[in-house]
Every structure is written in structure tokens, then in C-alpha cells.
Chain A
Amino acid sequence: MLRRWFLATTWLLLSAAGQAMAEGSPSSSDTSRLEEGESIYQQYCASCHGRQGEGMPNWERQNAQGELPAPPHGPEGHTWKHSDAMLYRIVAEGWRDPWNKTERLTMPAFEDALAPAEIRSVVNYLKTLWTPEQRRHQAEESEGAPFPTQSE
């Protein structure tokens, strides 16, 4: 069962990478990096953003604590609207919505837990969750705002 799940996941990642490569994105064409990215995502991100990147319920409205819940990463979310530079920064440094009623980083900073290459991998994995049109849009946004050079 586990082997079947592993094969299916690998096939999906390879398909997404192949499609993305055909469209000129994402910036990393290394499918093993995508697998690494998915593994990191499941370990560090899925507990808030969902195993499939579905986000938290009612993510567009503040919860009882006055915080915006974790958004989805798929086509219904807005992750695809941010450049590589911005996504890298959010993962590395964390984020809180300025209108949140609390001061904490609702998106924690991962720069002490993840190496720069791992942050790139997880961002590139998120790109496999988007539509081809969204990937094109995000690639254009990243032309002037790529991953930071120190992350290479």
C-alpha cells in the first residue's frame, strides 16, 4: 500500500515537473528536489496549510483570536500571485497579517529550521499545485524578483 502511494506521488511530481518544464517554469527542474520539497511541506507546512494544500476553513476571515487562518496553496488561494523572492522571504522570515489582533507570526519563520536550498525546494513544490496559467503568471512575477542568490 505504502509502495503504491509512493509510486503514485512520484508519478504526480514527475508529471507536474514535466508540465512545468514545458512551460519554462518552475526555476528548479530537478524532480528529486520536488520530492524533497513535498517531504518538507508534509513535515513543516501541512499541519496548518493542509496535506493537499487546502488551507484552513474560512481562511479569508479572521478567526476568534483575530488572526487570518492559514490560506490554501492551490489554485483557489493566492500563493501563486507572489514572486519567488516573496515566497522565499515569507517561508524564511515568517509573516503576520498587519490587521491581525495578535502580534505573533502566524506564519512562523523557518530560516533556522530549513536550509536555503530546502526553502527553494518547498516553494518549487508549491508550484506543482497551481494551474499552468497560474504558473506562467508567477514565473513572470518572479522575473524581476527571483529567489535570493544566497539560497542557491
Chain B
Amino acid sequence: MNNPASRFWRTLLLTSWVVASLGIAGVAGAAEEALPSLSYDRTGERLIKAQANQLFKSTDRGETWQELPLPEAVKEGQWVTASVPATAEQTLYIAGPSIGVQRSTDHGKTWQELDEDLPSENVIALATHRQQAETLYAVIADDGLYQSEDAGTTWKKMDSGPAQPVRRLVHSDMEGSMQTGWLYAVSDDAVRLSMDCFCGWRPTGELDAGRVYDVAYDLDAPERVYVATEQGLWRSDNGGQEWQSVTGDSPALVALAHSPAGTLYGLNREGELLRSDDRGQTWTPPDA
């Protein structure tokens, strides 16, 4: 993995992905901005932040952050997301366009590649099932959505995915699905939703808010969903059928996560954490 040839190909892959993203999504600018991402580990009661190819955890609601070790190959690659299964303590997954899917069960000391059974390392989004610790979902660019039910050992293609490139994927246990839940797929233009039996992607309600960055839902009331957009925070009280702009002092957020205690967390473009205990109306920094 660390020889010069593999570094060259990784760099080439990364460049190709950025170029492809620019072409497909029509993002303005010379290069795609790598946005930070945020997830909440319910088992370990910690926040996980991925930013600028670094991984951090916080166990005190974001007041302090500790960097988690990553393999050199991952640091040199491009990765986009970290995800923590609901019931598998200490298990952490990361994924990205040049690193595939990787797992650590020892706080980042060692990492295991999980893409042997995937057709490509070009993973652009990853999600863990809300209730099933060993069920994962990975989106492969220009291919589709793969599911693993054995913690990444084997994968099966389930769907071609939405037509637009997926930036974020979130599993929800909101009621009403034919199977076990739903998947929210965030693309630049919209949030789409499918039951996790993959019987069709449906657009969520009208959301005329510019670029869409991330989605999160209330863990105690999954039908309450939040979306971070170019034009601020939006909320739905019916799973995304209708959206309403959250008025207040909503800052410009690009990543969201919700804790079981009812706190909504957000990251701004610089990766700075803010939190809200009133459904996004007001936001404060962790040390406030």
C-alpha cells in the first residue's frame, strides 16, 4: 500500500474523483472543497469528527477533541466520512474515494480494509444501520449502492442509487418502511429517500435552499429530520415530506449529528462545533 507506485495511483484516483465531481455536480471553483463530517457514537457517547484527513473524537460534548490515529495510506488518500454502528462498542468505520471502507475496533490503533468484495475503492458515502451493528451501506461512484450484513466481509449490490452523486448517506429507523428502515441520500441538489429494501428513491419535499450538505434526524423521534443547506438549516416533522426553514440564529453548517439526549450538533465549514438544545433555533459553542 505504501510503495511509490501505489501512492501515484492513489493520487491519480483522488484527482480523477475531484475532477469527476466537478464535472457531475457542477461545483464552482478550481477544486472541490473537502467538507468536514460529523457523527455521534451512541454506544461510546462520543462525537466523531472527520476533517482534512484527520479523525477526532470528543467525549465531553465537543469541548475537547482527541485525534485518533490513522494509517499513513489513509492520511495520503481522500476520505469523506466516519460512521459508528449503534451497538458495536469501539467499532469505527471510515470511507473515502481512494481508501474504500476501513474498520477499527481499537480506537484507531489498527485498521482493517473491508473492500475485498467491493468492485472498487471509490466509495463516496457510507452509512451504518441504525439497529443492526453488522449492516453497512456503501455508495460506489458511478456504480451504485452496496450492502454488507456481516460488518464488511461480504458486499452485495442492492441498487444503482439516485441519479445524482451521493455525498452523505444516513440510515433511519423511522416507521413505515417495508423492511427495517430508510436511507436518506444527500446530493448537492436535494435529499432523497428510499426504504432499505431499495424499492425506489423518492424526492423529499421541496427544498429550494441551494446546495445541500448533510442530513440528521432526531434519534428519539426519527420523523424529525434536519438538513444543512447553503441557505441555512431546515427541519421536517414528517420524515422529509415537507421542509420548513429554521428561523433563529442558525449559522452556516455543513455537517450535522444528533445525540439521544436531544442535542443537535453542527460543524461549520472550518470544522468548528456548535450545538443546539432547542431544535436548531439557537446555537452555542461547546465552551459557552
Contact = CB atoms under 8 A, between A and B. Distances in A.
Interface in B212-253: 239, 241
Given A98-B175, A98-B176, A140-B156, A78 B241 contact: no
B199 A82 contact: yes
Nearest to B157: A137
Interface residues of B, number: 15
Nearest to B177: A98
A99 B193 CA distance: 11
A25 B99 CA distance: 37
A41 B126 CA distance: 40
A14 interface: no
B176 A78 contact: no
Chain A's interface size range is 10 to 19
A85 to B, nearest CB: 11
Interface string A47-85: 000000000000010000000000000000010011000
B27 interface: no
Contact of B199 (A78, A98, A99): A78
Given A82-B178, A86-B179, A140-B156, A60 B241 contact: no
A140 to B, nearest CB: 7
Given A86-B178, A86-B179, A140-B156, A99 B202 contact: yes
Contacts of A82: 178, 197, 199
B198 interface: yes
B200 interface: yes
A18 B267 CA distance: 57
Nearest to A80: B199
B175 to A, nearest CB: 7
B176 A81 contact: no
15 contacts: A81-B158, A81-B159, A81-B197, A81-B199, A82-B178, A82-B197, A82-B199, A86-B178, A95-B178, A98-B175, A98-B239, A99-B176, A99-B202, A99-B239, A99-B241
Given A78-B198, A81-B197, 10 more contacts: A78-B200, A81-B158, A81-B159, A81-B198, A82-B178, A82-B197, A86-B178, A95-B178, A98-B176, A99-B241
Interface of B: 156, 158-159, 175-179, 197-200, 202, 239, 241
